[in-house]
Amino acid sequence: MPQLQRLAITVAQICDRKIDLTREQQHYLNRVLRLQAGDRFIAMDGRGHWWLAVLEAQETGLFASITEEIAVNRELPVEVTLMAALPKGNGFDEVVRQATELGVASIVPVTSDRTLLKPSAQKVDRWRRIAAEAAEQSERQFVPTILEPVSFELAVKDCGQKYRFICVARGENRHLWDCLLGNLEPPQPPLLRGEQEFDPPQPPLIRGEQEFDPPQPPLLRGEQEGEELSIVIAVGPEGGWTEGEVKRAIGWGFEAVSLGSRILRAVTAPIVALSLVGAAFEKC
């Protein structure tokens, strides 16, 4: 199928295999994308369905006819909820956009002890529009759910996911990558152990031994066995979570994790965390 433009719609717009386009959608398709009657595009409802649609004209304006449903599989095999403390300015716009591109299922804006932004209802509507646009651009099947902002206390207390991680910039915590793979004590490479290794060990096939598949860590095992996996990752604001917030999160079942030895910006940390999840679970 040739590359086609995508348009996010709602299920309520579909009736008898016809799509009732809003004025904004008609303007976008006709004036921005330069589509004419007879041109095709992909309609997506943000809940997992894609349809091949044809633009048609009538006296009152443009509408679209559905010709067929398109089977796609573009989502992560794990449901990821991002709890992100609100950064200053418009930084959360970029968090929503890039988290959507990286496959997040839902985003919880969190007000923490160090949060400066007090979002309005208009801000939340804007974030939802950004998520829809980013889902179109990245060819997602689902548009992430953007929840209403909540306090840190409510966010960690009402969390229902089995695997819960809170990212902490400083301290001796396991790396998120090791947690995702289930490695309790990842082996250090020889140079870090201070060893000199002139003849590196040969892999099993070169040694002539039979090669066995290594046991899968818990999270990956669950994905293979059909268990519905869900992960929540909490990322802090400028200055990070306070010590009290980290302790409270741990009390509610979160594990404090590291994203590496560098201090990341509040808008960078979510991208690093979600990239690690994608690397751990997504099949190429």
**What is the tens place of the pLDDT at every residue in 21-41?**
999 999 999 999 899 999 999
Which pLDDT score is estimated for 88?
84
Which of 90, 245, 223 minimizes the C-alpha distance to 166?
245
Which pLDDT score is estimated for 192?
46
| Residues 6+ away with beta carbon under 8 Å from 242 | 112, 113, 114
Question: Chain centroid to CA 49: how far?
Answer: 18
DSSP string, 47-116: BS-EEEEEEEEETTEEEEEEEEEE----S-SSEEEEEEEPPSTTHHHHHHHHHHHTT-SEEEEEE-TT--
The stretches in the chain having pLDDT less than 50 are: 184-193, 195-198, 200-217, 221, 223-224, 284
Which pLDDT score is estimated for 210?
45
Q: How many Cβ atoms sit within 10 Å of the Cβ of residue 16?
A: 6
Which pLDDT score is estimated for 271?
96
CA atoms within 13 A on the CB side of 93: 10
Residue ranges covered by each domain of the chain: 6-70, 79-184+215-281
The residues pairing with 40 across neighbouring beta strands, listed in sequence order, are: 54
Which pLDDT score is estimated for 219?
60
Which pLDDT score is estimated for 162?
83
Which pLDDT score is estimated for 284?
44
At residue 40, the 3 state secondary structure works out as strand
Fold of 6-70: Ribosomal Protein L25; Chain P (2.40.240)
- Would you report the helix, strand and coil content of the chain in percent, each value rounded to 5? 30, 25, 45
Which pLDDT score is estimated for 213?
46
By the 10 Å C-beta count (0-12 exposed, 13-18 middle, 19+ buried), 135 is classed as buried
Q: Give me the percent of the chain exceeding a pLDDT of 90.
A: 57
Tell which CATH classification among 3.40.920.10, 3.40.1280.10, 3.90.650.10, 3.90.1150.10 matches the domain 79-184+215-281: 3.40.1280.10
Q: In whole angstroms, what is the distance from residue 207 CA to residue 202 CA?
A: 6
Amino acid at position 26, single letter: Q
Helix (H) or strand (E) holding 230: strand 230-235
Residue with tokens 């989502």: 75
The residues pairing with 55 across neighbouring beta strands, listed in sequence order, are: 64
212: which 2 tokens? 């066995």
Q: How many Cβ atoms sit within 10 Å of the Cβ of residue 2?
A: 4
Which of 59, 63, 57, 62 minimizes the C-alpha distance to 17?
63
